[in-house]
A and B are shown apart, each in its own frame.
Chain A
Amino acid sequence: MLSVIAAVAALNGVFLAVGYCLLAPALKELPALVWTTFAGIALLVGAAAIGVALCVLAALGLQTGLRTLLSVAGVFAVAGGLAALLAPQPRLQTIRFRITRPRRSQLAGAVFGTAAAMFVACACALTVFAAFRSSPWLNDTYTFWLPKGLVLGSHGLDDRLFTQNDQYVGFVSPDYPLRWSVIGGLEMDFVRTIDLRAVNAQISVLLAAFVASVARLLWGRVRTWILWTALAFLVVSAELLHETQSGGADVPLAVYVALTVLASLLWLASGEGFFVALAGVAAAAAANIKVEGAPQLVVLVVLPTIVVWPIVRRRGAILIAALVAAWATSVPWLVWRARHDVPSDFDLRSAFDPGYLADRAGRIGPSAQAVVTNLVGRDWPLIVPVFFALTILGVVIERRALWLLPAGVFGACVAFWVWTYWAGATPLDFWLSTSAYRVVDGLLLATAVTIPLMAERVLQDLDARRIARISGAD
């Protein structure tokens, strides 16, 4: 067990160091204490940058073991350090968040916020502890995610195993992107043997880093009690906690999808360059974890940006350009796949063929039922109900159609998953029972990070009305 703890600490230490180097241009001159509050973001950024770079190098024919890791980490560290030295002064102002201070009437809020913050911290600590003591329950972990990573680390993309052929027993799901496999392989390199607990530990560390990142990004932008309560809604979701022990790529993907959504929202709202850069890095990670990463972000980020285009014209264009650049990092892998005739489980041409879809219309009902059931089930008890309650409140209070946009995006993402199951060739009952409970993770985490922003907006509206009423009475 000690070797697992040391290995996970060492790998994440590399991620953290690289992440801080990459954040250095934005953080320089800030006090050391403020730097520490960026630890979650630094870890996710470092893991994303290294993972994506190793995926590109793997597709170009390199091995992704420890030597390559340290080389890539060194390059990023030097690049970040140089950028920090050369960064112009004004850019430093961009992420100096306001710190909200409690007013006299907010004692109850401060106590409640502290309780929620401690609850979130303790729940994350228990989750990380439990993950270190669990072996992945999802067989995908040992049937393909981790084995692929082991081969990538020692031999690179071995044609015999990464393509389907008559002579060798290749990997299951050969079309899946490589990032989660690469990370798993590195974990085993650090452990120096095969110990699957390290994979779960890595998932739990990523989730804890995500929670810390959301807290940092929203600090000073929403009331602290709202922030921590919303994060508490997330960490009481039993299915999310259970999936930190799956070993699968769904929680890591969800973390980066939700981080992209939050960073994109903050970019569109504030225009601070730090956020669009963060959105780009997170989107690149998402695209290189699972095939559904990029399409989900089209639905969750690109689609709403186009809807509000008249309001966000320039920022929207920069955001979409950043996402396209991020997704371009998966091109080397797609080229490798195409050159080696690696088939996809999902036939995109059929998925847009009306005749094909009409013949399979019977799949729509069960798919919709499974997706919706998993979104609002007992194991994700609070996120969706609170999200829709806030939507209704917002519509009633402000009477603006814009309040319907988050719900519309939510519906579009549900439709995306129903369409995926509808158009896919896999037997439906098997497919739904083995995946519908986890493909919704990205949508749920993305929904969870919008809750504090929506709640803050509702409360600001109510505050403004109260002040207006008092002023009117005077």
Chain B
Amino acid sequence: MRATRQDNFHVARIVTAVLVISVFGLLASSTAVTESVLARLPEYAPILRKLPRYEGQRGDPDLGRLQASIDVAAIRRAAEFVPDDALYYVEAPEPFAEDVRRVAQLYFLPAAAVRHATDAEWILAFRSRSLPSGVKDVESIALSRDLSLIRVARD
């Protein structure tokens, strides 16, 4: 009698576990189910919209409203040219300046960014048509429509 009761416990537990896992499995495998859940519980979108049937993000910084404007892949390419011990300067207009500077820092490290262009060996220019005063162009590398990397020397 006792063994039967224990068996009932195990069966009840297994059935419950299978049911719950099935519900989550359905959620993960069916876009229709996921969307109907999201219609009622939109706050879970960050999790549910990353499930297998949705497109995942890439490993680049999420720049929010500036995502479309700043070409992170181009900044990655620029980092391949800048030596580890180099000093560089970022030339960019507002409202992009801070984001371009921070994304460049992420990929250019351990190269250090300087506050004055005249201290720099390289300049990353974003939507900029002229070099800052005090430096002259030694070599220019076009990275994208908006970005270029320029090796400079003091003028």
Q: Give me the interface of A with B, judged by CB distance under 8 Å.
A: 1, 4, 102, 104, 107, 110-111, 114-115, 117-119, 122-123, 125-127, 129-137, 139, 141-143, 146-147, 150-151, 154-155, 158, 160-161, 166-169, 172, 194-198, 238-239, 241-242, 245, 378-379
Chain A residues, Cβ within 8 Å of B27 = 126
Q: Closest approach, in angstroms, between the C-beta of B154 and any C-beta of chain A? A: 15
Between A and B, 13 residue pairs with Cβ closer than 8 Å are A111-B13, A114-B17, A115-B16, A115-B17, A123-B24, A131-B50, A134-B46, A135-B62, A142-B61, A147-B102, A150-B110, A196-B62, A238-B44
Complex: A238 Cα to B42 Cα, angstroms? 10
Q: Are B24 and A122 in contact (CB under 8 A)?
A: yes
- The answer, among B12, B51, B57, B107, for a CB contact under 8 Å with A129, is B51
Complex: A262 Cα to B36 Cα, angstroms? 38
Please classify the interface of chain B as helix (H, G, I), strand (E, B), loop, or mixed, using the class held by over half of its residues: helix
Q: Are B47 and A127 in contact (CB under 8 A)?
A: yes
Closest chain A residue, CB of each to CB of B15: A111
Q: Closest approach, in angstroms, between the C-beta of A284 and any C-beta of chain B? A: 28
Interface residues of B in 1-30 (CB under 8 A from A): 5, 8-9, 12-13, 16-17, 19-21, 24, 27-28
Q: Are B112 and A196 in contact (CB under 8 A)?
A: no
- The answer, among B21, B46, B59, for a CB contact under 8 Å with A242, is B46
Complex: A238 Cα to B46 Cα, angstroms? 9
- The answer, among B48, B51, B102, for a CB contact under 8 Å with A139, is B102
Closest chain A residue, CB of each to CB of B41: A238
Complex: A198 Cα to B57 Cα, angstroms? 12
Chain B residues, Cβ within 8 Å of A147 = 102, 105-106, 109
**What band does the interface of chain B fall in when counting residues whose beta carbon is under 8 Å from A?**
35 or more
A107 with B115, Cβ < 8 A, contacts A134-B50, A198-B59 known? no
A126 with B47, Cβ < 8 A, contacts A111-B12, A154-B110 known? yes
Q: Are A126 and B28 in contact (CB under 8 A)?
A: yes
Closest chain B residue, CB of each to CB of A171: B105
- The answer, among B17, B51, B60, for a CB contact under 8 Å with A196, is B60
Interface residues of B in 63-117 (CB under 8 A from A): 63-64, 76, 84, 99, 101-103, 105-107, 109-110, 112-116
Complex: A151 Cα to B145 Cα, angstroms? 30
Q: Are A197 and B50 in contact (CB under 8 A)?
A: no
Q: Are A135 and B57 in contact (CB under 8 A)?
A: yes
Complex: A150 Cα to B79 Cα, angstroms? 14
Chain A residues, Cβ within 8 Å of B8 = 107
A118 with B115, Cβ < 8 A, contacts A137-B62, A195-B59 known? no
Q: Are A379 and B59 in contact (CB under 8 A)?
A: no
Q: Closest approach, in angstroms, between the C-beta of A214 and any C-beta of chain B? A: 19
Q: Give me the interface of B with A, judged by CB distance under 8 Å.
A: 5, 8-9, 12-13, 16-17, 19-21, 24, 27-28, 41, 43-44, 46-48, 50-51, 56-64, 76, 84, 99, 101-103, 105-107, 109-110, 112-116, 119
**Other CB < 8 Å A-B pairs besides A129-B51, A158-B110, A194-B76, 14 of them?**
A114-B17, A115-B17, A130-B51, A133-B56, A135-B61, A139-B62, A141-B61, A155-B110, A158-B112, A167-B115, A168-B112, A168-B113, A197-B59, A378-B43
Q: Are A130 and B46 in contact (CB under 8 A)?
A: yes
Q: Closest approach, in angstroms, between the C-beta of B79 and any C-beta of chain A? A: 9
Closest chain A residue, CB of each to CB of B14: A114
Complex: A424 Cα to B5 Cα, angstroms? 62
Q: Are B43 and A104 in contact (CB under 8 A)?
A: no
A130 with B16, Cβ < 8 A, contacts A142-B102, A143-B102, A147-B109 known? no
Complex: A155 Cα to B5 Cα, angstroms? 64
Q: Closest approach, in angstroms, between the C-beta of A446 and any C-beta of chain B? A: 22
Q: Closest approach, in angstroms, between the C-beta of A57 and any C-beta of chain B? A: 18
Most buried by A among B8, B41, B50, B113: B50
Complex: A378 Cα to B40 Cα, angstroms? 13
Q: Closest approach, in angstroms, between the C-beta of B136 and any C-beta of chain A? A: 21
Chain B residues, Cβ within 8 Å of A119 = 20
Closest chain B residue, CB of each to CB of A133: B56
Chain A residues, Cβ within 8 Å of B112 = 158, 160-161, 168-169
Chain B residues, Cβ within 8 Å of A198 = 59
Q: Closest approach, in angstroms, between the C-beta of A464 and any C-beta of chain B? A: 25
Q: Closest approach, in angstroms, between the C-beta of B65 and any C-beta of chain A? A: 11
Chain A residues, Cβ within 8 Å of B103 = 142
A114 with B16, Cβ < 8 A, contacts A134-B50, A151-B110 known? yes
Complex: A127 Cα to B48 Cα, angstroms? 9
Chain A residues, Cβ within 8 Å of B63 = 139
